[in-house]
A and B are shown apart, each in its own frame.
Chain A
Amino acid sequence: MEPKVITLTVNGRKHQVALPPNITLLRALREYLHYTDVKNGCEKGDCGACTVILNGKAVNSCLVLAWQADGGEILTVSGLGTTSNPHPIQEAFADTGAAQCGFCTPGMVLAAKALLDENPHPTEEEIREAISGNLCRCTGYGPIVEAIQIAAERLAEGGQK
C-alpha cells in the first residue's frame, strides 16, 4: 500500500507525515518525527519502554500502527516536563532514585501519569499493578513505587499540573 499522510499531535505540536501502513507509532515518533525520548526496548510490547499517552491512555507505542493514531493526541515524557520545568512525577523520580540507567524511565513516568490521572491516591498494590507492564532492570522497583507515592502526595498538595 502507498504511504498516507496522517496527522499526529505530539506534545501539543501538530505534525503531518506521510507513512506506509506498516510503520508503528514507535517508529513514527522516533525515526520520522525524532521524539527520541520514546525508547525502544523490544518492539514486541513486552517491556513498556516505548509507553506514550495516546488520547489519555498509556499504550505501548510499538503495538500501535501509526495510521491507527491518525488524528490522535500523543504525550511523550519530554512533553510532560523539561529539566527547567519538570512535572512533579519527574521531580519525584529524580528525588527517590527511581531513574538509575534511565532507559525505562520515560515509559515508567508516563505509566505513572496515566495511573495518577485516573486514580490520584493509589495504594502500593495499585501502583505495582499499573507499572507491571514496564520492565526495570536496575532499581528492583522500590524507588519507582516510592516516587509515584510521593508524586501523588505532591500533586494532591499542589493542585493540578
Chain B
Amino acid sequence: MKYKAKPLPPVNLPELRVVGKPLRRVDALGKSVGATIYADDFSLPGMLYAKVFRSTVPSARIKRLDVSKARALPGVACVITHAELPQAVLVTDMPGQTGQKRRAGSDAHVLAKDVVRFVGDPIALVAAETLDIAEKALKLIEVEYEPLPAVFDPLEAMKPGAPIVTPPDNIVSKYKVRRGNVQAGFEAADLIVENTFNVQFVDHIYLEPESGVAWVDDRGVVNIRVCTQVVEHFRSIALALGVPHNKVHIQGTMVGGGFGGKEDITVEIFIGLLALATRRPVKLTYTREESIMAHSKRHPYVITHRTGVTRDGRITAAEIKLIADSGAYVYLSPYVLLYSVGTATGPYRVDNLSIDAYAVATNQVFTSAFRGFGAPQAIFAAECQMDDIAQKLGMDPYEFRCRNYLKTGDIGVNQQIKSAAWLEETASRALEALGEKTPAHGHIKVGQGFASYMQSYGRIMWFHDTSQAWVGLELDGTVVIRSGIPDLGAGQVSAVCQIASELLGVPLDKVQIYHTDSALTPLAGTSTATRQLYMSGNAVHQAASNLRKVLLERASKDLEEDPANLDMADSKVFVKSNPEHFMPLTELLAKCASEGIHLSNLAIFRAPFTSPIDPENVQGDIWPDFTFGAMAVEVAVDTETGEVTVLKSVACHDVGRAVNPKAVAGQIEGGAVQGIGYALMEDCMIKEGYIQAQTLSEYLIPTAVDVPKTKVIILESGTGVGPFGAKGVGEPAITPAAPAVANAVSNAIGVRIKSLPITPEKVLEALESLKQKEKVG
C-alpha cells in the first residue's frame, strides 16, 4: 500500500447519550410516507394562480409594454408592471438580516423599469383564477424591445468601452491581497508554474422548484408561506411591498433542497404584491424551465495561478488572479468573491502572496450562492495547480502537499488557523482507503487523484451574526424548541433536537421543534454559510443548558445533593454516583410549576464580531473557523469515446464532532456526488445570454447509475466552534470533489484538462493534442 493513514493526535471526546449517535432524523418518517407539506402542496380557498412575464432578450430597452389585452382576459384578476410600483426596490446583495451598506447600483427594480439585463428578467406579474388562464394571459402581453449592446464575457466586460450592464461600471466587487515579498519569493524559486483554469455556470437543481402562497389576513398582515433559506428576508420584502416590517409574516416550509439557490428572494415579493393588489390568496410555483431561467447560478471563474517552488517542493511565492462572472445583478457576488479569495491558495502556507480578484457584471443570468460559496471554484484551481507542480517537480502529489499544508497557528490567506488543521490526517486516510489502482485494459485508462481543501463555516464576522432559540418543558415532560431555523433537508432541525435531548435528558421522540417562522419563532438566521448547526446548535445548547441549570438547582433540594453531582437522562434527574436515587422529571416539573419557576429559556448565540477588512489588502479575521478534509477518486477514461467514469470515491473530513454521524455521512456523500456532477457533466451552456440546458434532459445531474458509492470517513478533532466541538460540513462536502476528479483524469491520460466540466469532447481534444505534441517531440 502506497499511502498509510497518519496517526491522529490524541482527542478527548466525552461519550454522550444522544449526541454522536446515528439516530433517525425527526423529519425522516414524515418525508418517507409523503406527509410533509411542501410549499406547492398548500392551497387556500379562493386562491389565484400567478405567472411571471420575463424578458426574452439579454439586453434591451423596453420601448412599449402593453398589458391591456391580458388584463381584459376573463378570469384574470390582476396584472402588475413597474408602472404600478414605482417604489418597489429589490435589495439584491444582502440577506435582510444585518443592514450592511450596499454598493451603488446593487438594488434592482422588482419588475424591469425601462431596461432588461438578462434573459429571464421579470417584467410583469399576472394572477388569474386558474393556471391555464394565467398562462394564456402571459401570451397576450405585448412588449417591444430596442436592443442594447450586451456583454457576455467578464474579461470583455472589464475592458474600457464595454457595454455597462448597470452604472457606475461592470466591476461589482474587487479585492487584493499583498503579503510578504512576492518578487523575492519568485527569485528564490527553482521552478515557476503558471496555469489558467476555467469553471462554468451551474445550477442547483433542487428537486423542488421555487414556490409560495401569499395572503393578506384580517389584520392586514401579508402572510407568505414559502420554501426559503432565509426567513429574515421579511425586511427586504416589506420594503418592496411598502408595508412595515411587522406586517410581513414568513412561514417557511420544509425546503425541497436549496444549496444556495433559495438563499436570495424568489417568489416572495411577487406573490406579496399580487395578494396585496387582489386581497386574495395567490400561489406562484415555477416550472422547471422557469426555475432554471430565473434563479441564481454558481459563478463561472477564470483563475490564473503563478506559483514559485523550490526543487525540494516548498512554495516560495504565488500570484493568483480570480475573475468571477456576476451576471446581470449583484446579489451575493461580493461575498462569494471574498470566500474565493480566502481559499485561493488552497490549504497551504504561502508567505509571499499576491491576489487580485474581481466580480464582473455581464448580461447573463445572475450568479449568487451555491454550496461552497466561491470555495469550490478556488479550490478546483488551487488543487489542480498543486498536482501540476508536483508532476513538474517529479514529486508524489501527497508528499508535495505535505511540505506545504497549513498547520494550526499558521496564517492562511488572511487569518490565523485556530482549530485543528487535519490535512495530512484526512488526505492520507482518503488515499489509503482508495487502495490500489484498478488495472487499465486496452483503450480504458485508469487514474487516481485527490484534493485537499479548507473552507470556512459561519458567516463573515462583521455581519454580527446571531441565532436565537427558545427551549421549554411542558408539564408532561416533553420538550418544545422554537427557533427560526430553515431546514433545507440537511437535518438542520433534527440536529438541534438531538442537542436538547442530550442536555435535558429527554428522549428524542419527546422533543418537538417549531421552526422557520419570522413572527412566531425567534430568528435564527439564514440556512447558509454552513452556519445553522454552528449558530443555532449553540443557541439551543445555551437555552437548554440554562434550563437544565434551573431544573438541577430545584431538584437538588429534594435529592439533597449538590447540583454538580446531578445528571439528567431517561426523563429523570438522578445522583451521578447513585442513579437509583432519582426524581422523575414530571414530578420536578410539577414542583417548579407550582412554585412559579420558569420552565423555558430564550437564548441568543452571538458569533465573534470583527470590523470589516480593507478590500485593498484582505488581511485579518473574516471567518469564525475552518473545516478541513480531502477526497480521493479513481476514474476510468475511455480513450476512444472520451467518457470518464468514476470507479471509486472516498471522502474524509474532520467534522469536529458529528452530532448525528448518519446525517453527517449523508451530507458528505451527497456533496461528493454533486461535486462529481460539477466535474463531469453539469453546465448551463449559456450562448449569447441564452441558457441552452433549459430542462433536466439537457441539464444533466448524476443519476444512480452514474456514480459509485462514496466511502465516507468521519474524523472528529473536537476543535470546532460549534456545539460539542462541531464544525460545519454541509457545504465543504462538495468542495474537494471536482479537483480530485480532474487530477484523477490527468493521472489516467497524462494530460491536464483545465476547464470544467470534463466532457468527452474535451478529453478527446486533450488526447489529440498530446498525440500531436508527442509527434513533434
Which residues from chain A sit less than 8 Å from chain B, CB to CB? 36-44, 46-47, 49, 76-78, 80-83, 86-87, 90-91, 93-106, 109, 127-129, 131-145
Interface membership of B697, Cβ < 8 A? yes
- Asked if B697 and A46 sit within 8 Å, CB to CB, the answer is yes
B-side interface mostly: loop
* Contacts A95-B24, A100-B490, A139-B669; A39 near B35 (Cβ below 8 A): no
| B559: chain A residues within 8 A (beta carbon) | none
Min CB–CB distance B497 → chain A (angstroms): 15
Interface membership of B259, Cβ < 8 A? yes
- Asked if A141 and B256 sit within 8 Å, CB to CB, the answer is no
| A100: chain B residues within 8 A (beta carbon) | 257, 489-491, 666, 670
- Asked if B28 and A129 sit within 8 Å, CB to CB, the answer is no
Out of A38, A127, A142, A144, name the residue touching B710 (CB < 8 Å).
Answer: A142
A-side interface mostly: loop
Closest 6 CB pairs of A and B: A101-B489, A37-B34, A102-B31, A103-B256, A140-B673, A46-B696
Complex CA–CA separation, A97 to B673 (angstroms): 16
* Contacts A39-B208, A43-B287, A143-B669; A101 near B488 (Cβ below 8 A): yes
- Asked if B695 and A44 sit within 8 Å, CB to CB, the answer is yes
Out of A47, A83, A128, name the residue touching B30 (CB < 8 Å).
Answer: A83
| B192: chain A residues within 8 A (beta carbon) | none
| A136: chain B residues within 8 A (beta carbon) | 207, 704
| A46: chain B residues within 8 A (beta carbon) | 288, 695-697
- Asked if A101 and B673 sit within 8 Å, CB to CB, the answer is no
Interface membership of B27, Cβ < 8 A? yes
Out of B33, B206, B255, B489, name the residue touching A83 (CB < 8 Å).
Answer: B33
* Contacts A102-B36, A137-B207, A138-B670; A97 near B705 (Cβ below 8 A): no
| A106: chain B residues within 8 A (beta carbon) | 34
| A41: chain B residues within 8 A (beta carbon) | 207-209, 288, 696
- Asked if A97 and B255 sit within 8 Å, CB to CB, the answer is no
Out of A36, A131, A134, A137, name the residue touching B257 (CB < 8 Å).
Answer: A137
Which residues from chain B sit less than 8 Å from chain A, CB to CB? 24-25, 27-38, 40-41, 204-209, 254-259, 285, 287-288, 488-491, 662-663, 665-666, 669-674, 695-697, 701-705, 707, 709-710
Complex CA–CA separation, A141 to B666 (angstroms): 9
| B208: chain A residues within 8 A (beta carbon) | 39, 41, 101, 103
- Asked if B32 and A93 sit within 8 Å, CB to CB, the answer is yes
- Counting chain B CB atoms within 10 Å of each CB, the highest count among A80, A86, A132, A142 belongs to A142
Complex CA–CA separation, A100 to B487 (angstroms): 10
| A42: chain B residues within 8 A (beta carbon) | 288, 695-696
Query: A-B pairs with CB below 8 Å: how many?
Result: 184
| B33: chain A residues within 8 A (beta carbon) | 37, 77-78, 80-83, 86-87, 90
Known: A93-B32, A94-B28, A101-B207. 17 other contacts (CB 8 A): A36-B37, A37-B34, A44-B697, A46-B695, A77-B34, A78-B35, A86-B29, A90-B32, A94-B24, A95-B24, A96-B662, A100-B489, A102-B32, A106-B34, A132-B704, A134-B704, A137-B259
CB closest chain-B residue, reference A40: B40
- Asked if B206 and A103 sit within 8 Å, CB to CB, the answer is yes
Out of B662, B672, B709, name the residue touching A97 (CB < 8 Å).
Answer: B662
| B287: chain A residues within 8 A (beta carbon) | 43
Min CB–CB distance A84 → chain B (angstroms): 9
Complex CA–CA separation, A109 to B671 (angstroms): 22
* Contacts A77-B33, A99-B32, A101-B488; A137 near B701 (Cβ below 8 A): yes
CB closest chain-A residue, reference B709: A142
| B697: chain A residues within 8 A (beta carbon) | 44, 46
Complex CA–CA separation, A136 to B488 (angstroms): 14
Complex CA–CA separation, A98 to B37 (angstroms): 18
- Asked if A138 and B257 sit within 8 Å, CB to CB, the answer is yes
Complex CA–CA separation, A19 to B670 (angstroms): 40
CB closest chain-A residue, reference B285: A40
Can you identify 22 A-B contacts, CB atoms within 8 angstroms? Answer: A37-B41, A44-B697, A46-B696, A82-B33, A82-B35, A83-B33, A83-B35, A91-B29, A93-B32, A97-B662, A97-B666, A98-B32, A101-B31, A101-B255, A102-B256, A105-B31, A128-B705, A132-B704, A135-B696, A138-B257, A144-B704, A145-B709
Out of B209, B489, B695, B707, name the residue touching A102 (CB < 8 Å).
Answer: B489
- Asked if A43 and B205 sit within 8 Å, CB to CB, the answer is no
| A133: chain B residues within 8 A (beta carbon) | 703
* Contacts A90-B29, A95-B24, A102-B256; A138 near B666 (Cβ below 8 A): yes
CB closest chain-A residue, reference B649: A140
- Asked if A105 and B34 sit within 8 Å, CB to CB, the answer is yes
